[in-house]
Amino acid sequence: MGEHEFCADPVGAGHEDRFPITTRRQCEQPAKAAEPGQHFRPERLFYERLDFLDEVVTGVDIDPGVLIGQRLHRRYNRAWASIGKPPLLRVILAILLAAIVTQPATAVEVTSLYTAQVPLDEEQDDPRAAAYRAALELVLLRVSGADLVADPEMVELLFPDPSAYIVQFRPGEEDSLSVTFDGEAIESLLRQYGQNVWGGDRPLTLIWLAVDWGRGKREILGADDPERTESAARSIDRNRLLRQRLLDIAERRGLPVLFPLLDTEELQSVSFSDIWGGFDEAVLEASKRYDVDSVLIGRVRPDNVRQNRWRYYFSGEQRNWIGEPELAVSQVADVLAAEFAISGSERLEVVDLIVDGIDSVNAYGAVHAILADVRVIENFAVAEVEGDRIRYRVDVHGGAERLRRALRFNGLIEQNGIDPLNSPDQRLEFFYTP
């Protein structure tokens, strides 16, 4: 077996076939109350002691987790559904989408990007080598994207011997092999050769799916199937199969997804007709309870692929697709990879980042932790302090626009709507709130 470790991984019950994800909200601990001496009061002391903040912060219990903004809790009059969408509702839809986009996002950490389970074909000349190659290609699809995997010559050039990057493997069910690779080594090589790298912190996508099974059977696909009579068992089974199709392709792409709970509260707000008829304002409103970063809304008729329509909301834009569920989920993964993956060939640019609301050592430490956790940032330093406002000089891979998207995803609230593409100073303004 060489240098590879052959063993079984500890996997929690109920997750044997699913890659684990961890939300930062689940991991964070409540921040301890600061001692009186840890706050800079009066305000003048904040200026005087700013130079020592880095040293002071090391002794403060800072909560650097994701900051969740306020969520609106409005209801809409469902009578609109019977008369169509007037211009006013189109405006409301735009406002709702903007509210989702500008709120600090929930970060989800996908912890098994570099572990893949693939078939072990004993009919191959070298079954294990073939499995290693297949597992590596699956990992590269998750981490670097479809373009690299579609170029087998480049993959062969970068990774002539996949086994050199394996840290562990173990047998899986039904003649399969689970392979874990050295993530740091793979990322380093990809960056060295100018390839894209998408890290483990990824937006969570909520999937609303209305299914018309025919003969009057219409349902919304939920997180779990409700208890039903024996005569409804067939409907339960086909819902599970459809949901599993979505989960399988999401796992293949390293995309964290979830389905709505469809509890009493939701069923009073969103109906099958809302999803099927394109009344997305109600669906986006109901999505706020999940603190999601992206929303995929679909209508599926299994016996007619041309009737399968998808609407995707992310980053202030709506995208529309037609096709099978696998196509829609793959398109979502491609959009998000283009948004958050960092190319090794992207040059460093200096950006002025202004953050308001930093009025204490805890606030400074929290912002410091946020910036340190942003992958597109190479270096940052305090350039100027004025009141509770700090201006940072930030070295960024990809410039101001890339930094703007990353910070919005990592928990700061954007201000003033500065257009980084037309700003000669490459300046961004954000607000921190504990």
Average pLDDT, the chain: 77
Task: Report which of residues 56 and 253 the model is more confident about.
Answer: 253
Q: Rounded mean pLDDT of 264-281?
A: 94
pLDDT of 254 reads 96
Rounded Cα distance between 427 and 429, Å, is 7
pLDDT of 16 reads 39
- pLDDT tens digits, one per residue of 338-364: 888 888 777 889 999 999 999 999 999
Rounded Cα distance between 246 and 127, Å, is 29
pLDDT of 227 reads 55
- pLDDT tens digits, one per residue of 384-432: 999 999 999 999 988 888 888 788 777 788 775 555 445 555 889 999 9
For the chain, give every domain's residue range.
78-109+203-340, 112-197, 346-431
Rounded Cα distance between 66 and 370, Å, is 9
pLDDT of 248 reads 95
Question: Which of 145-149, 295-299, 301-305, 424-428 is the least confident region?
Answer: 424-428
Q: How many CB atoms lie within 10 A of CB 303?
A: 8
Q: 233 pLDDT band (50/70/90 cuts)?
A: low
pLDDT of 174 reads 86
pLDDT of 107 reads 59
Rounded Cα distance between 411 and 252, Å, is 27
- pLDDT tens digits, one per residue of 174-218: 899 999 999 999 999 998 999 999 988 888 999 999 999 988 899
Instruction: Name the pairing type of β-strands 115-119 and 201-203.
Output: unpaired
Task: Report which of residues 230 and 202 the model is more confident about.
Answer: 202
Question: Which residues are CB-contacts of 70 (< 8 A; sequence separation ≥ 6)?
Answer: 103
Question: Which of 20-29, 73-82, 130-139, 249-258 is the least confident region?
Answer: 73-82
Question: Which residues are CB-contacts of 171 (< 8 A; sequence separation ≥ 6)?
Answer: 120, 177, 178
Q: Cα Rg for the chain, rounded, in angstroms?
A: 24
Task: Report which of residues 2 and 26 the model is more confident about.
Answer: 2
174 touches 216 (CB < 8 A): no
Q: Express as a percent the part of the chain with pLDDT over 90.
A: 50
Flag whether pLDDT at 283 surpasses 80: yes
Q: Which residues pair with 395 in a beta bridge?
A: 350, 379
Q: 156 pLDDT band (50/70/90 cuts)?
A: very high
Task: Tell me which residue has tokens 């880095």.
Answer: 54
Q: Rounded mean pLDDT of 313-317?
A: 86
pLDDT of 111 reads 86
344 touches 194 (CB < 8 A): yes
CA distance from start to end of the chain: 51
pLDDT of 247 reads 95
- pLDDT tens digits, one per residue of 98-136: 444 444 455 588 889 999 999 999 888 899 999 999 999
Q: Rounded mean pLDDT of 32-42?
A: 38
233 touches 208 (CB < 8 A): no
Rounded Cα distance between 308 and 328, Å, is 10
Flag whether pLDDT at 35 surpasses 60: no
Please give the model's pTM, rounded to 2 decimal places. Answer: 0.68
pLDDT of 148 reads 95
Topology adopted by domain 346-431: Alpha-Beta Plaits (3.30.70)
